Amino acid sequence: MIPAQERLIAALDVPSTDDARRLVATLGDAVSFYKIGMELLMAPGFFELLASLKADGNKVFVDLKFFDIPETVARAVRNLSERGADFCTIHGNQSIMEAAAKAKSGTTKVLAVTALTSLDQGDLDDLGFRCDIADLVLSRARRSLAAGCDGVVSSGLEVERLRREAPRELICVTPGIRPVENRLEADQKRVMTPSAAIHAGADYLVIGRPIRDAVDPRAMALQIQAEIAAALNTAGSPS
């Protein structure tokens, strides 16, 4: 069972680690799971921030979407495991996923990226993927579990089908969450509200801008936590 408090993963999509620390301090006990990614990796103090978040009792999702030869990805996952990362993300084929899964240790879970929430069917066609997005996501999910990965990153729009057709042990981490229905940003094309994503079967919700850019980030985080708790109570916990 996943504690309801941990289902919200607040994305620290900010320019510097100082900005990240200020946002964490503002959120206080409203959030206990954080995502740190590529933007912060390019700033000084990325791994010190990771260590600090862990030392304070938080969980950390390191979202760097590793995509390289299998041995390189395996070494990167191994290093992250030693640093205490709870989740990490990978791209790639079966051999890359298998290498990452074998390299993880401790509490680190490896998540395969399916289709970015910034992509729609037209984008996939442009990239040469001649298949439906939902079919692609389901295929990636099945292959990731066969490779030994723990789960996938998937839009909420595909989670319901994953829950019907993929094994129950699959962890579903869902980005593209927006508290207000039909609130779209230019680079997010497949989005869903927190309540709808939980009802669809998402385990964790990654939410960045709606919290970061709120007039009161802590109040927004608490509002989202309440929406998650209410959705769990009405739908039954998906895990």
- Per-chain mean pLDDT for the chain: 88
pLDDT one-digit tens code per residue, 66-111:
999 999 999 999 999 999 999 999 988 899 999 999 999 999 999 9
Which range of residues forms the domain containing residue 179?
A: 4-235
Q: What are the DSSP calls for 50-100, one per residue?
A: HHHHHHTT-EEEEEEEE-S-HHHHHHHHHHHHHTT-SEEEE-S-HHHHHHH
> Which residues define the annotated binding site?
13, 35, 63-72, 117, 178, 188, 208-209
> Which residues define the annotated binding site for substrate?
13, 35, 63-72, 117, 178, 188, 208-209
Report the number of distinct structural domains present in the chain: 1
Residues annotated catalytic, as ranges:
63, 65, 68
Tell how far CA 119 is from the center of its chain: 16
Q: Cβ distance 60 to 32 under 8 Å?
A: no
The CATH number of whichever domain residue 231 belongs to comes to: 3.20.20.70
State the pLDDT at residue 135.
77
pLDDT one-digit tens code per residue, 180-227:
644 545 544 446 899 999 999 999 999 999 999 999 999 999 999 999
pLDDT one-digit tens code per residue, 154-188:
888 888 888 887 777 889 999 988 876 445 455 44
d(Cα 116, Cα 114) in Å, to the nearest integer? 7
